[in-house]
Structure 1
Amino acid sequence: MSTRHPGAGTGLRADVRTEEVRALRDDTGPGATPLTVLAGEPGCGRGTVLDRLAEELTPSAKVLVLRLAELDRSLPYGAIFRLLVLLGADRAEEEPARRSVLAMLARAGETTPTPEAVAKIATAVFALLRTQTPLVILVDDAQWLDEHTARLVSPLLHRCSAETSISVVATLRIGAGDDLSGSPALLGAFARLRAGGHAKLRLLRPLSRAQSRSLLTGLVSALPNDGLVTELHAAARGNPAALTALVHGYRSAGALRIVDRTAYRVDRVDQPVATEDHPLLRAVTGAGGGVREVAETMAVLGPLGTSAAALAAAALGWREAELRAVLDRLVAERVLVRDRDGGHRFRVAAVRDALLTGIGPYATRSLAAQAVHAVWSGSASVSDPDLVLDWITQAGSLVDTRRASEELIKNGERVLFTDGAKAERWLHATLAWVTEPPERTAVLMLLSSAKAVHYRAAEAGDCARQVLCKHLGHLDPAQAQELSTVFISGLAARRDLGELAEIAAGASPVLPDDPALMVVNRAYALLLSHRWIETRDLLERERAVWTGSNHITADFGTMFLAACGVVLGDTSQLHTLVAHPELWRAAHLPHYAVEHRRFEVEMLLQLGELRQVRQRITASGLAVGELPVANRFALNYLGGHWAEAMELARRTMLGGTDPARPLHFLLTQCAIRILGAQGWLSRARALAADSRPSGMRHSIDHAEFTVLSKLGDTEGADALLYSAARSADAGGYVLGTEDLWADLARSALARNKQREGEHWVRRAARTATQLDTARAHQNHHLARAAVHREPAAARRAAAIARERRDVPYESAMTLLHAGLAGHRPEQSWTEAYELFGEVGAWFWRGRVRKLLRDNGFAGPGRTETTAENERLLAILVAEGLTNRQLAVVLETSEKSVEGRLSRLFSRTGYTSRVELAAGILTGEYRT
């Protein structure tokens, strides 16, 4: 855990320049040099730093802030006029002297200043300044100082000494070649002061990646995912203004989404993303003289390197010399950077993207075609060949469409599994050129596959519909089956329950009328509608029809039937497939062999059989990375790697649930349990609320029960338990009820309902017999131990848990309840405490620690206890719990809570719950 000290910043203000502000504050202290120049490129945050510096200095000095603009250059002594107005705002006794100096400035501004006049004015102005020390003058954008004021800088600051306590901090813009901007008089004065030790230069560098992360956190009020940080930091090149504009642009484009208080880049939204106005972009859009036209043209053609300038000139109808003059201006404005080979690139990628989004469609097509022709003719080249393919898609019919379609299809296949956005973009473009039915069918199938592989089920279904409606005659039965499942998945993703119901009833104008395909497609539609019993009955009744069909249809039927068995409590078909892989009809096809293994692994993960899963992965040669995200989540959840599990859970939820896979619903249940076990109770409840409309409702109700029980809401928790039981029975679900019956049994026992408890024990016994898994058996033993007070049952449950230590959380929960049922409490709870620590289940670790202490058993040391208590308390406070709720969760008194909070705030330096919550969100305070 990290600590925080007072003055380190508060809330989500994203004070990413804390170190720079601290250094400048030191520069204005006693005995410091009179002038500090803070230099940086446009948009780097110079003004923001001055604002923060002003806030920090105001309690100890008089602070005057001057903000200059380009118009200020035309007003002689304008900056001094404004400074003196600010200086005398609250000093009426010095009004006569101030008016006298103002009159002197007005007269002097009408003539060219002589050295004598400058010295006289400097003496008069300095006399006014020294009466209000300690004084700090902050000048933003000092490059716009008028010439007359610039001449006063040196004589004024030479009069400063350690005794006068006058400091000036001025910001300057950096121009081309990292040179300072400003008039010759200003830059000359600064050079002389610096040479004489009266001034220093500080450069405001681009944000580091860590600083970009901090700024992003403040902008989105959520913790940004690493991939989002990397992308935006690179696109903005550490420029705060560009980064801020990018965030606004991403949000407007729907390219940024927050899941469980974590911000992600939505992959399905293509770049470039438009950004709002910021200084670097304004240097282009606000300039005349054809600057914008040249910049937009270079945004397209710039990657062509040394050939770009000539091609850009030709595209605009300019002479190349004229265009190069504008390029030099863009370099001076720090928009472009000149490469060593003579080409140009954009200093900040976000500026290029913003310009690309502003070019009209015809201009884009024309420039893209010009680029393609240059590359195809050999007169130009690019380092990234994929860029040429993007130009082809933009150019459309302005290039050779036969050659273009060949290249796009070939490369679309190349990136089909690795880059869905590119594959879709390139394959979509070919549809306008490929008109012959066989070739068009092949492209549509590739496009559908690209969307399906990258979890865009709805869009994949749309492509499949086109093929099934218009090109069914060009498909063999296996291809028709594949596309049928893609089409039906798309309907489920769109929540098109009406058409799903039609297919389930055997009435679809889109799907093939082949008898076997009709059975399997009906079964799939029923399955996606969560009508598992009907799915099983249909497949069993029509087994002879679909098993005699093509390999793909037969395997889909086998897969759906085995899945129904797992969900409804019959695992025999799954275990038969695992033991006899030859039963898969398409096992000779490499792609389908992988799909078979994935299916088996997914079903075993749902049953909690981690050891068997690992053996299956090893034996089949599957790489963990080849598994779907939800499967990898389950591996990490069961194995106790909860940080990785939650990252995968959020990524899965980012793309929406997959109604074809029960594991997606169990994933949400497990994610809620992780959050609750760590103390993130509000986050857990929010996730439950967002997930409840989906299928397998019993799994969500049961997960939220665990949260309400921690909050002491016994009535609400019991209501959720009963709701889960009713939902499970209504759907015929056995999967996901293994620990539900045990919790209902313990609830009945707490309400002195012995007969009811015995009923739930019988349900647990039936589930254990049906599923025959370690998870189901240990929960049956726990229910029996609690209701019938059987030490032997508690011992058997604990024995299973100890054999399953590779599933730490479930084993820890089992040992906790076994100890409560009387099985070696000290040993069971000590083991549970260690296992809860492995996964970071801070709530349960605290609960077990209290059990050990209350029962007189040895527990962890004082230091460890204090640290863990503070960690859990900080999380619960950040979740918005009141003192009364904290007392319930921590099983202590409100007075004790007040004392703990006081010690927490005292040690960390936070002064409020809001500050603490913000510190946790930004990562400043690590839990």
Structure 2
Amino acid sequence: MADSELPVPTLFGRDASLAHVVDLAASPDDASLILLTGPPGIGRSAVLAALRGEFKTLGIATLTLRVARNERDRPYSLASRLSAELSALYPAVGGSRRRATAAAPSPRTDSGRQLATELRSAVAACDKLIVLVDDVQWTDPSSRAVLLPMVRTLAGGPVTFVCALRPSAADPPGDRAALDQLRAAGLAEVVTLRPLRESEVRALVTQRLQAKPSAPLLSYLRRECRGMPGAVLAAVSGHQRSGSLNIFDRHAHLTSPDRPASLPAGLPPVESLRQLAGLVWPVAKAVAVLHPLGSAAAGLIAEALGTNEAEVHEALVELRDEGLLRQGPRPGHWGFRLPLLASALATCLGPYERRRLAQLAVDAIWAGDAVADGRFLAEQLVVARRFVDSRRASDELLARGTAAMLDDGYFAERWLRAAIELIAEPDRRAQALLAHAATCCIHLRYAEALDSAWTVLSGHADLVSPEALLEMEMIYVVSLGGIGDTAALAEICNNGWRSLPGGEGHRILTRAIALCHLDRWREADEYLTAHGDVWRQDNDVVGALGLLFSECVGVFLGRFEPFDRAVAAPPRWPMWTAASRHRFERMSQLARVLMALGELDRAERLLAAYPMPSGYRPVPDRVVANSQAGHWDPALDLARLSLATGLSVGDLPTHTMMCRETCIILGARGALARSREVIERARAVQPVMLHLLAVPEAYLDRALGATERAAQGVRDGIAQAVRRGLVIGTDELWLTRAVSELAAGDLVAAQRCVDETKKVAELLGTGRARLCRLLATAVVHRDHAAAAEAVQLVRRRAQPHEHAETIHLVVRHGLADASLLHEAYALYGDLDALLRRAQMRNLMRERKVAMPGRSLVIAENERLLATLVAEGLTNRELAVVVGGSEKSVESRLGRLFKRTGFRSRVELASATLAGEYPA
């Protein structure tokens, strides 16, 4: 009989692994010994527990034994326990055994034969019985000598042994030979549990969190846990405990994939190591820290423990035999089979132990006796702190942290914070605080940025340059916006700005940016303009930042010329050559504003001509870029990450723009409730430029039949923009209102809207503003030429959603040939816009346009229906959204339940949320 390799049974139902083992154990003709094997942490004990439940369901009796580590030194321990348990199950056999033992007690040398006799008698009296033995690797040699020969006599009998065995290089050769003989005779089968595949890890995490894991989270679990289910669950629980795992829109994300989990010290592999004698436990903890040092690790461990390398090597070999370590390709190099275990063991070290190990590692690297990468050295410097030369440590941490500012936010922030704590000199400490605040602001860690910036402003203002001081004031204000402290921002706008350090130019810019964070754009622009002579004549930093703010705020208000000049020649800026982070700041802001205007093509050309000084690009900006380019899946993944971890507030108007794009994607795909949730979050977290959300929100209202509410929302959005003097985004608002007024029969109001779209187009001069003017003119005036020009323009702009929406609009109003609907339908298909595809199909039926792919249409309709059910819509709402009757919705739901096997809306919704819907 061939041995098997099967997946670990996931913890939410019977699967192939359990079914296979159950069939083997229950069949009278199969092997009488089944060994479940696999690496440490694979879940053998969990499988045995699941098997016990399966056998109970089948009505088959089971007997469960677990062998403890200390039993391997107690002769006949397992055999005696098994005999006693069988006697308890079958009292008649037990009574005969007790009488025989009392009449003729056996000497110790006869114990094996006596136990064998007793066990054979007990087995002969058994009905069908499954004996489950966990950790059979700890069985004492005497018991193995008794039990292994019995397997031959059990063939075809009522008793089957199912044993969990952790294989080891230290297993006795004789036992391996005996097992090989049994396998060759068909009396034993080895079932090797393999690690979980990525799809199985995804399913396990989804079941545990009731949320789908993000790609970075899956990558982290694959790297650290190697498919071991227990390790996966421990890592997930550890990140939940530390607050580094957040869930948004039923998707789970790590705030930083590099941040280690807060693992409990009581993990089973760790607890088993505690029981090992001698140096094994302290060596295990030490090697968890020092193993990256390769061949130097053993000597450093010996020094830390006050022993010699030979004894350390013996402990390392024992850890290898335990299945926890593996030897590398080069002598003296050791690594963990399960990387997560190193993190768990490191948490078991006391503060002094951990710092002592870090000290030894740092000293060895500095002396040239060991080699490691820069990240390892920096991390050991963070731990060692004053156990090593503080000046040298702070210099290295400051240098490495500054170098990683753009590329590695988590570690840069950590290293710079440690440097700050080590530095005693006020001037050097101020420099470290500057770098730390800038790093945290770049990576949107606003609470940490605020703390460092305020420390500089309140206690070190006289120790930094005027340029650096202004940067700290900007970071301070942006961070207040990032954490939502509107009271502090209002105080700066009212009187607090007068008491800020620095010159008059500093205070003008600080107040202006605070006004922007309070959505007071016109006031900020007027204030900057009125004091332009002051900030323009200040130093380069004041002049550069004042210019950048003035350019961007001016665009939002409809003053485009200065911004156009900046986009045409970004290097003509006072701070361009000062530092890479300043170029990053300028390019990010210019590209961000272009995307807010709908000018994705110009933003991409700008970044191609003047690449970022780092590969890093803020997550919210990537969301907007991907969404406008039609890459909706990565856009949605990044948006969920940003909203789950708070990485979208602070920079203006990033959060609102990202929420707008996310709302468009979710709404087009039928996730109406989740789309509404994103809008409410935008209003609550950073209420800036909220009129940008009016158009996608109107789509949600119209989808549910609330046409008047949709129209009122657009009117409110226009009024809000007018109050703030904002022009950005009003092109789409006036177009949407023009269509709405026309549908309501108010041609005069619709014509006023057309006039407004012309004004906005003249002010902004952007492609999107021109498109909105053409469409408004075409729809209201029945202008076929304007409609054709709009279609040509939207094709050049290459934004798939905008492209499809334009065709949908002109065909719906009879301004273009209906055959164009095929083009729009394909675009919606590429976006997986289920709801928009369904609405398009209704229009295609009205215009008698053929729809290809009947089976695909049925599958899409079912997916959309399941999505809408998961969104909590009633049958009446479903009928409105899909454009049918309640009766037709009930029929479609009935057919869906029959095909999928779900019995209720609740089951269907749960399966959809967990990603188990089979469509």
**How high is the TM-score relative to the length of structure 1?**
0.87
Report the counterpart of residue 434 of structure 2 in structure 1.
445
Q: Give 1:364 deviation, angstroms.
A: 2.2
Pair 748,624 (structure 1): closer, same or farther in 2 beyond 3 Å = farther
**Which residue pairs with 1:603 in the alignment?**
593
Per-residue Cα deviation, 1:798-840 (whole angstroms, up to 9, x for no partner): 4433443x11101211211211111135124222212212222
Q: What SS does structure 2 have at the residue aligned with 1:586?
A: coil
Following the alignment from structure 1 to structure 2, what is the Cα–Cα distance between the partners of residues 24 and 794? 68
The answer to whether residue 187 in structure 2 is matched with residue 198 in structure 1 is: yes
* CA positional deviation for 1:533: 0.7
Q: Which of 670, 682, 693 does residue 673 from structure 2 map onto?
A: 682
Please report how far the alpha carbon of residue 541 of structure 1 lies from its aligned counterpart in structure 2 after TM superposition.
1.0
Establish whether residue 229 from structure 1 lines up as the match of residue 218 from structure 2.
Answer: yes
Q: Which amino acid aligns with 1:37?
A: L
> Aligned partner of 1:365: which letter?
R
CA 1:819 to 1:9, structure 2 compared with 1: closer, same or farther past 3 Å? farther
Partner letter of residue 611 of structure 1? D
Candidates 684, 690, 699, aligned match of 1:697: 690
Query: Structure 1 579/344 Cα, relative in aligned 2: closer, same or farther at 3 Å?
Result: closer
Question: Helix, strand or coil: the match of 2:194?
Answer: coil
Q: Which range is displaced more, 634-643 or 475-484?
A: 475-484
Residue 161 of structure 2 is aligned to residue 172 of structure 1: no
The Cα shift of 1:531 comes to: 0.9
Cα distance in 2 for partners of 1:609, 1:467 equals: 38
User: CA separation in 2, counterparts of 1:398 and 1:277?
Assistant: 29
Q: Please name the residue that 1:712 is paired with.
A: 705
Alignment partners' CA distance in 2, 1:586 and 1:489: 19
Distance 1:45 1:268 in 2: 25
1:469 aligns with 2:458: yes
Any conservation in 2 of the 1:242–1:280 contact (CA below 8 Å)? no
* CA shift in 2, pair 1:710/1:452, >3 Å: same
Asked whether the 8 Å contact 2:42–2:193 carries over to 1, the reply is yes
How far apart in 2 are the matches of 1:180 and 1:824?
Answer: 83
Aligned with 2:496: secondary structure? coil
Match of 1:831 in 2: 823
Following the alignment from structure 2 to structure 1, what is the Cα–Cα distance between the partners of residues 657 and 410? 29
Residue among 360, 367, 373 paired with 1:384 = 373
Q: Which residue of the partner structure matches residue 20 of structure 1?
A: 17
Distance 1:398 1:482 in 2: 34
Residues 401-455 of structure 1: per-residue CA shift (max 9 Å, x gap): 2333333333333323222333333333333443334433332222223223322
**Distance change (3 Å), C-alpha of 1:680 and 1:63:** farther
2:519 paired with 1:527:
no
Kindly provide the amino acid, as one letter, of the partner of residue 674 in structure 2. Answer: R
8 Å Cα contact 1:158-1:198 kept in structure 2? yes
Aligned residues: 897
Give the 3 Å change call, closer, same or farther, for CA 765–439 of structure 1 in structure 2: same
Aligned-partner SS, 1:739: helix
- 2:835 counterpart SS class: helix
1:726, distance to aligned residue in structure 2 (A): 4.3
Cα distance in 2 between the residues matched to 1:13 and 1:119: 38
Secondary structure at 1:467 match in 2: helix
In structure 1, distance between residues paired with 2:142 and 2:273:
30
Q: Distance in 2 between matches of 1:154 and 1:598?
A: 71
Query: Of the candidates 485, 488, 496, which is equivalent to residue 474 of structure 2?
Result: 485
Q: How does 1:637-652 map to 2 (within 5 A)?
A: 637-652=627-642
Match of 1:559 among 543, 548, 569: 548
User: What code does the residue aligned with 1:370 have?
Assistant: L
Choose which of 335, 348, 358 in structure 1 pairs with 2:348: 358
The one-letter code of the counterpart of 1:848 is: M
Cα RMSD, aligned residues only: 3.7
Out of 772, 797, 815, the residue aligned to residue 807 of structure 2 is 815
Tell me by how many angstroms 1:625 deviates: 4.1
Which has the bigger relative contact order, CA under 8 A and spacing at least 6?
1
Equivalents in 2 of 1:687, 1:560: separation in Å? Answer: 28
Per-residue CA deviation, residues 617-669 of structure 1 (Å, 9 max, x unaligned), is: 33335589454333322221111111121123233332333333213311111
Q: Secondary structure at the match of 2:222?
A: helix
**Distance (Å, rounded) in 2 between the aligned partners of 1:370 and 1:583:** 51
Q: Give secondary structure in 1 for the equivalent of 2:490.
A: helix
Mapped contact 1:794–1:822 kept (Cα < 8 A):
no
- Give the drift of 1:539: 1.1
> Distance in 2 between the 1:74 and 1:115 partners?
11
Shift of 1:69: 4.7
Contact 1:206 1:238 in 2 (8 A): yes
8 Å contact from structure 1 (residues 506, 522) kept in 2: no
Match of residue 656, structure 1, among 647, 655, 666: 647
Sequence identity (%): 34
Contact 1:255 1:269 in 2 (8 A): no
1:62 aligned partner: 60
- Contact kept? 2:481, 2:489, Cα under 8 Å: yes
- Amino acid corresponding to residue 770 of structure 1 in structure 2: L
Q: Which amino acid letter does the alignment assign opposite residue 735 of structure 1?
A: I
Equivalents in 2 of 1:456, 1:917: separation in Å? 36
3-state SS, counterpart of residue 692 of structure 1: helix
* Contact map agreement 2:67 2:133 (CA 8 A) in 1: no
Give the partner amino acid of 1:336.
L
Check 1:386–1:808 CA distance in 2 against 1; reply closer, same or farther (3 A cut).
closer
Question: What do the CA deviations read for 1:44-94 (whole angstroms, capped 9, x no partner)?
Answer: 1113333444566666663536252529985764345546767xxxxxxxx
Summarize deviations over 1:381-402 as a string: whole Å, max 9, x none: 1333432332233222222223
Structure 1 position 848, deviation (Å)? 0.7
1:732 to 719, 725, 728: 725
Name which of 594, 602, 609 aligns with 1:619.
Answer: 609
Q: Which amino acid aligns with 1:873?
A: L
Partner of 2:362: 372
**Alignment partners' CA distance in 2, 1:818 and 1:107:** 99
2:33 matches 1:35: yes
Q: Structure 2 residue aligned with 1:854, among 846, 850, 854?
A: 846
Of 506, 525, 529, the match for 1:536: 525
For 2:626 and 2:130, how far apart are their aligned partners in 1? 56
Provide the rounded CA distance (Å) in 1 between the counterparts of 2:158 and 2:776: 77
Shift of 1:613: 2.6
Which residue number corresponds to residue 866 of structure 2? 874
For residue 273 of structure 1, give the secondary structure of its aligned residue in structure 2: coil
Partner Cα distance (2:34, 2:620) in 1: 55
Confirm or deny: 8 A CA contact 1:242 1:350 kept in the other structure: yes
Residue 486 of structure 1: CA displacement?
A: 1.6
Write the deviation string for residues 771-792 of structure 1: whole angstroms up to 9, x where unpaired.
Answer: 3333234334444555565556
Match of 2:3 in 1: none
- Of 287-296 and 510-519, deviating more is 287-296
Aligned 1:296-311 pairs, distance under 5 A: 296-311=285-300
Aligned to 1:403: 392
d(CA) in 2 for partners of 1:421, 1:210? 28
The one-letter amino acid paired with 2:663 is I
Alignment of 1:136-215 (within 5 A): 137-143=131-137, 153-154=147-148, 157-159=151-153, 167-176=160-169, 179=171, 190-215=179-204
Q: Distance in 1 between matches of 2:82 and 2:738?
A: 80
**2: CA distance, partners of 1:42 / 1:579:** 61
Partner Cα distance (1:453, 1:262) in 2: 25
Distance 1:874 1:258 in 2: 22
Distance, in Å, in 1 between the alignment partners of 2:424 and 2:305 is 35
Correspondence for 1:393: 382
Distance 1:32 1:735 in 2: 76
In the TM superposition, what is the alpha-carbon distance from 1:755 to its structure 2 partner?
A: 5.5
**Unaligned 5+ residue runs, structure 2?**
1-6
- Report the counterpart of residue 332 of structure 1 in structure 2: 321
Distance 1:67 1:913, change over 3 A: farther
Question: Following TM superposition, by how much is the alpha carbon of 1:909 offset from its aligned partner in structure 2, in angstroms?
Answer: 5.5
